[in-house]
Amino acid sequence: MSRRNRKYAVPGADQGMQRFKAEVMRREGYAVDPNRPDDVKFEVARELGVPLRPGQNGNLTTESVGQVGGKIGGTMVREMIRLAQQQLSERGPQ
């Protein structure tokens, strides 16, 4: 599977998001290569029983690929929400 060509609104955000993904997934117990954080998707796929392989995966259903992306993205979103709530509580009432 090739990585999508995402365009972030903030220049340089891609590198930060990749570091964030690596950190979050490492805390979830996955072995993450900091130089290749996108590769964690293969470990997640194995755990979920999805036969995701490097290269073409046209034989996979949208549902099975979505399980992999959902696990990673959902974990990242939960962490972002937790961080935002923490920052708001530390700021206190205004």
Instruction: Give the per-residue pLDDT at 79.
Output: 97
Q: Could you tell me the two tokens for 15?
A: 């590198």
Cα(93)–Cα(29) distance, integer angstroms: 36
Q: Kindly state the percentage of the chain with pLDDT values over 90.
A: 64
Confidence band for 1, pLDDT divided at 50, 70 and 90: very low
Instruction: Tell me which of 3 and 57 has the higher pLDDT.
Output: 57
Instruction: Give the per-residue pLDDT at 3.
Output: 53
Dihedral, CA of residue 1, residue 44, residue 25 and residue 5, to nearest 10: 10
Other beta carbons less than 10 A from residue 41's beta carbon: 22
The mean per-residue pLDDT over the stretch 74-89 comes to 96
Instruction: Give the per-residue pLDDT at 12.
Output: 85
